[in-house]
Amino acid sequence: MSVVSINPDVMGESRRVCIAGTGSYAPERVMTNADFEKIVDTSDEWIVTRTGIRERHMARDDETTSDMAAEAARRALAAAGIGPEEVQMIVVATITPDMPFPNTGCLVQDKIGARGAFCFDVEAACSGFVYALELGRQYVSSGALDTVLVIGAEKMSSMTDWTDRSTCVLFGDGAGAAVLRPCRRGRGLMTSVMGSDGSLAELLMVPGGGSRNPTSHETVDKGLHYLKMEGREVFKYAVNNMTAAAREALEKSGLSLEDVACVIPHQANVRIIQAIAQRLHAPIEKFFINVDRYGNTSGASVGIAMDEAVRGGRVKAGDVVMLLVFGGGFTWGCSLLEWGKRS
Ligand code: UT7
């Protein structure tokens, strides 16, 4: 196992950083709204009108977050034409790691054979992919590293309370990945705006299993290991903060929304996306939406959506793309990038 040396001599040089390839993975098993009608008091009509979700992918019992992350990573590396041995850093954004430690990045490293990488996880809930992307960008931009693998991966079904209709219908499993490399042409990853508000942490959380409520029979009996959400409150903050972050990122980069070819938002609820589009006075067609087929895959959502947008031809070379996220913490962020003009 080699050690990656971060070269201090070139730090601060500021290179442009491109996404050289993307990949994603969704488990084979699909749960439709009709399947939920059989287990909780809900209806396809309620779920579709309140969320836009029609189906979501669910991992097998023996399928872990690192399994999904590794498959998305293999596809991203193939798209970039890069072998696993070239990867110097793996950062996995997840709130559903295989286990408290070791980190999921290390498990992915082993699965894909990226023996030369150093690896860790980032936890910023549904904002995790953009946070990890920004972290990776800093390493490549500074000249410290040349090849970084960023992955968002979640097995949300592992923290779902299947008796709580207000949350169980919302989430899905999957993974999205991107390979970061220096680029000679085009702007690559440009502006990022990120924010957090820990005073609102309790509105979206898994209360058990950490140092506050260590796992015990009691925490299990009380259901503290399940995701808890004050949906209506989260909705409000998501719309406000994502809209503000989008405006700030555009202002910082001297761009207007007309310059942006495609907005790829966190896929939690189509009504959140519609409200943001309305506030930004942007046509909804500018927003890439796949929440109908995936539900909310938390830290994986933007990575999966970006891969679908690229492979489906929705994002083309030279397009300016906006990634826009919000999640537990609260955390939020917006990244602007120019797609695909790599040397
Ligand atoms: O990824 C991190 C960010 N997460 C989000 O952005 C999620 C944000 N929140 C939301 O997307 C929405 O708030 C939800 C989809 C979670 C809920 O939609 P809502 O329009 O805010 O509904 P609500 O919570 O105000 O509930 C309305 C009604 C309630 O019944 P009463 O009290 O009016 O009689 C709920 O009990 O809908 C009921 N309800 C359901 N009914 C059928 C809640 N869940 C369900 C359900 N099926 N699955």
Q: Note whether 43 and 137 are same-domain residues.
A: yes
What is the identity of the amino acid at 282? Answer: A
Using CA of residue 139, residue 186, residue 314, residue 254, what is the dihedral sign? positive
Burial string for 164-183 (b: 16+ CB within 10 Å, else e) reads bbebbbbbbbbbbbbbbbbb
To the nearest whole number, what is the mean pLDDT of the chain? 95
CA distance 263 to 266: 10
Q: Note whether 168 and 278 are same-domain residues.
A: no
Whether the CB of 272 sits within 6 Å of ligand 1: yes
> Residues 119, 262, 266, 269: which is the catalytic one?
266
Beta bridge partners of 122: 93
Told to judge if 106 belongs to the known catalytic residues of this protein, a careful annotator would answer no
Told to judge if 126 belongs to the known catalytic residues of this protein, a careful annotator would answer yes
Whether the CB of 33 sits within 6 Å of ligand 1: no
> What pLDDT is recorded for position 325?
98
Q: Mind listing the pLDDT tens digit for each residue in 76-107?
A: 999 999 999 999 999 999 999 999 999 999 99
Residue 146 lies in a domain: yes
Q: Note whether 161 and 17 are same-domain residues.
A: yes
Q: Note whether 53 and 120 are same-domain residues.
A: yes
Whether the CB of 234 sits within 6 Å of ligand 1: yes
Q: How would you class 163 by CB atoms within 10 Å of its CB: exposed for 0-12, middle for 13-18, buried for 19 or more?
A: exposed
pTM of the model: 0.96
Residue nearest atom 41 in ligand 1 by C-alpha distance:
42
State which residues form the domain around 35: 7-183
- Judged against a pLDDT cut of 80, whether residue 4 lies above it is answered with no
Contact between residue 230 and residue 285 where contact means Cβ atoms under 8 Å apart: no
Domain termination residue (choose one: 149, 164, 183): 183
Cα separations in angstroms, 206 against 59, 93, 98, 235, 255: 20, 16, 16, 18, 38
Residue 1 lies in a domain: no
With bands split at pLDDT 50, 70 and 90, how would you rate the model's confidence at 3?
Answer: low
Domain termination residue (choose one: 133, 149, 183): 183
Q: Mind listing the pLDDT tens digit for each residue in 143-182?
A: 999 999 999 999 999 999 999 999 999 999 999 999 999 9
Give the CATH number for residue 210: 3.40.47.10
Q: Note whether 19 and 168 are same-domain residues.
A: yes
Domain termination residue (choose one: 154, 183, 212): 183
Q: Mind listing the pLDDT tens digit for each residue in 225-280?
A: 999 999 999 999 999 999 999 999 999 999 999 999 999 999 999 999 999 999 99
Residue 132 lies in a domain: yes
CA distance 170 to 301: 13
Domain count for the chain: 2
Told to judge if 241 belongs to the known catalytic residues of this protein, a careful annotator would answer no
